[in-house]
Amino acid sequence: MDQAIQIAGAALILAAFILAQIQVLSHSSRWYLVLNLAGSAILTVIALADRQWGFFLLEGTWAAVSAVSLGKSYWSRRSSSHHARATACQTAYHERGDPLS
């Protein structure tokens, strides 16, 4: 069972890498980051359980970088979406005029 979980984690990371290399995914796309985060998180837990400190350092760092990048992607898209809605509301307000006047 442990080997199957390791293979699944590695397969997720390799899938992200291969899809990026053949230009199906961008290195900054959410799917790329999610695949890397999921795979590296699985391998980090296994490395910790087996006390494989070098492997833990590698995969833990990989997971942390993927998580931070995914968080930045989320907040960046959320911020630009909020900005787009605010701009649309301002435009509509200016086109219709002040409803209180």
Element (H, E) at 14: helix 2-21
40-51: pLDDT as tens digits: 999 999 999 999
Q: What tokens appear for 34 in the block?
A: 């999610």
pTM for the model stands at 0.73
The pLDDT, as a whole number, for residue 88 is 58
15-35: pLDDT as tens digits: 999 999 999 999 999 999 999
The pLDDT, as a whole number, for residue 75 is 82
SS3 27: coil
Location of structure tokens 């435009």 = 91
Q: Which residue has the higher pLDDT, 95 or 3?
A: 3
Around 6, how many Cα atoms within 13 Å sit in the side-chain half-sphere?
10
The pLDDT, as a whole number, for residue 78 is 67
